[in-house]
Amino acid sequence: MRLFVAIPLPEDVRVGLAMLAGGVPGAGWVPADNLHLTLRFLGEVDGRQFEEVCLGLGRVGGDAFPLELSGVGHFGDRRQARVLWAGVRPSEALARLRGRVERNLEDCGLPREERRFHPHVTLARLRGAPVERVGRFFIEHSRYASRRFLVDGFTLFSSHPGHGQSIYRPEAEYPLELPQDAGVAGAAAGWA
């Protein structure tokens, strides 16, 4: 089983992200339904480890928190970008959640993730995209920002090969705790 842990995004945020698609030949755009923020890629996990991972993630806990997406960027060489992504406004709460996920997965026996966490939402994977069109994408969307939304849980997904696009299936969902007065606090913080 190929697994990853991710924060699902509200539908309107995904629709907004999907509207960034286009204008870059050679780009494989991620369909709106598949857009997510990966917290940790686990790779292949067998049945016994799967049970442990599920239990370990159940111990992560913590409070819900607001988050905003902001800006666009790329992975890979500037002249040969591999991935286009939307960025995430820096968030201590997100970094703490990622840390708790990491520690709990280590406790399940998974090897420590050595790569630095770079929060992002993958928008497209590129193959031979003309550098000037990629540059234009950055100029056109540099001001992209989502609304502030509430991260009220994370999900363990399995990834399956599909026709062109991977199919992501939620295996388990892990809610984060809402503050007692979430309705009032959420409205005040502009979450809703």
> Reading across the β-sheet that carries 2-8, which strands appear in turn?
36-44, 2-8, 153-160, 167-175
Check binding of 140 to ligand 3AM (CB under 6 A).
Answer: no
**Is 91 a residue that touches ligand 3AM (CB under 6 A)?**
no
> How many angstroms separate the Cα of 61 from the Cα of each of 55, 110, 124, 152, 157?
12, 19, 31, 11, 18
The residue within the footprint of ligand 3AM, chosen from 10, 32, 38, 54 (CB under 6 A), is 38
CA-CA distance, 113 to 124, in Å (whole number)?
A: 24
- Among candidate residues 74, 118, 120, 163, the one labeled active-site is 120
Alpha carbons 72 and 89: distance in angstroms, whole number: 11
Pairing between strand 120-126 and 27-29?
Answer: antiparallel
Q: Which of 12, 23, 26, 41 touches ligand 3AM (CB under 6 A)?
A: 41
4 is an interface residue for ligand 3AM by CB under 6 A? yes
Does residue 34 bind ligand 3AM (CB under 6 A)? no
The least CB distance from residue 18 to ligand 3AM, in Å, is 15
Query: Rounded to the nearest whole angstrom, what is the least distance from the CB of residue 119 to ligand 3AM in the complex?
Result: 9
DSSP letters, 66-86, are EE-EEEEEEEEETTEEEEEEE
Tokens 């399940």 found at: 108
* Least distance from ligand 3AM to the Cβ atom of residue 126, Å: 13
- Residue closer to ligand 3AM (CB basis): 91 or 159: 159
Of 28, 2, 5, nearest to 119 (Cα)? Answer: 5
CB of 122 to ligand 3AM, least distance (A): 3
Annotation marks residue 74 as catalytic: no
* Residue selected from 49, 70, 91, 159 as contacting ligand 3AM according to rule CB under 6 A: 159
Q: Degrees (nearest 5) of the Cα angle 69, 9, 48?
A: 120
Question: How many residues does this entry show for the chain?
Answer: 192
Please select the residue that binds ligand 3AM; options are 53, 74, 86, 122, rule is CB under 6 A. 122
Site of interaction with ligand 3AM (CB under 6 A)? 4, 38, 41, 122, 159
The catalytic residues are 36, 120
